[in-house]
Structure 1
Amino acid sequence: MVIGPCGAGKSTVSHRLAALLGLPLTHLDKLHWKPGWVEGTKEELLAALAPIITQDRWLIDGNYGSTMEMRLSRADTVVYLDYPIRLCLWRAAQRVWSLRGRTRPDMGEGCPERFDWAFFRYIAGWNHHARPRTEGLLRGTDARILRFETPQALDAWLAELERDR
């Protein structure tokens, strides 16, 4: 699993890891969002995820707290991009600007990038709502947790992984 605040770079690192490790990659955003930024239901997301996590090998990118326990029960490793929120806000703003009007490859079709105050408020409040819930779930897992607090630490680990392959 690859988790962390919105804008941390989960999808980018997931693509790199999937290619490096030969893992099938699933983006939760792609499963959850329908054209026009219409959210699917929790039940639809859980149903879509169930057959994926029963496989022996997978890589899933995204948080979605309602699915975290389900994924943690089957995950052997969690890559946690635990970056400063100001960095995540900056990266999210860069993404919106560079992809404005286009749908990114890891998002559901028909969901073009756009500026949304609610989304940026969600990122800004990560440490107060999503982080405590995420940390609590991680304490209850047997999965190996690889926590990266800077992009440089992640890059060093990825470079080491690439050398070992």
Structure 2
Amino acid sequence: MRKIAIIGSGGSGKSTLAGKLGIILNLPVFHLDAIFWKPGWKPIEREALIKANQSIVEKDAWIIDGNYGSTMDMRLQHADTIIFLHYRTTVCLYGIVKRRIQFHNKTRPDMGENCKEKLDWEFFQWVRNFNKTKAPVIYEKLSKFEGKDILVFKNRKDLNLFLQNLKRSSSTN
């Protein structure tokens, strides 16, 4: 596990997982939200996002969390491990509401500078519809990859067990 792409719905815990894996595996972590969003929630241009992703995937090792369809194929192709957090919709909706409360009037550590946490109707709907609209497309993409470790977690209990086992095996190496 040297190049890890983490994907999943908003509120599934992609950034939290990336941070934990970064510590366990001693790998650099890149949060796509921090790259995409500039101060005041201003998005960067599509070409700039592609260029930023290209420079990251060319590195020897990385963990990248985020979806961003314009660059997902690039990340998945370069990754040796793909982790898809495919949780129930209610879990992800709870995650975004909890995050909104936890970081009220603050910028999350995995977000672009001066992007205070917010929760708007458009994002709520995106998360609400993720399993119907986005997950099938992701499974289609994943079905085309051979020779990669593809890990799909349907709940946090299984993910936490995976992390415990990884931590144990990393500490013995």
Percent sequence identity is: 41
Could you tell me how far apart the structure 2 residues matched to 1:94 and 1:145 are? Answer: 28
Within a 5 Å distance, the mapping from 1:18-97 to structure 2 comes to: 18-97=22-101
Instruction: Provide the C-alpha distance between the structure 2 equivalents of 1:115 and 1:95, rounded to a whole number of angstroms.
Output: 9
- 5+ residue gaps, structure 2, are none
Deviation at 1:49, TM superposition (A): 1.1
Q: What is the count of residue pairs matched by the alignment?
A: 165
CA distance in 2, matches of 1:136, 1:67: 16
1: distance between equivalents of 2:117 and 2:139? 29
Runs of 4+ in structure 1 deviating by more than 2 angstroms, as ranges, are none
How many angstroms does 1:115 deviate by? 2.4
Structure 1 unaligned residues grouped into runs of 5+: none
Q: Distance in 2 between matches of 1:66 and 1:133?
A: 13
What corresponds to 1:162 in structure 2? 167
- Pick one of 96, 99, 115 that aligns with 2:119: 115
**Distance (Å, rounded) in 2 between the aligned partners of 1:38 and 1:130:** 24
2-11 vs 127-136, greater mean Cα deviation: 127-136
Report the CA distance between 1:124 and its aligned residue.
0.2
| TM-score when normalising by structure 2 | 0.92
User: Match of 1:138?
Assistant: 142
Measured after TM superposition, the shift of residue 72 of structure 1 is: 1.1
Is the Cα–Cα contact under 8 Å of residues 96 and 119 in structure 2 kept in the other structure?
A: no
**SS of 2:130's equivalent?**
coil
Aligned-residue Cα RMSD (Å) equals 0.9
Query: Which whole-Å CA distance do the structure 1 matches of 2:118 and 2:79 have between them?
Result: 32
Give 3-state SS (helix, strand or coil) of 2:82's partner. strand
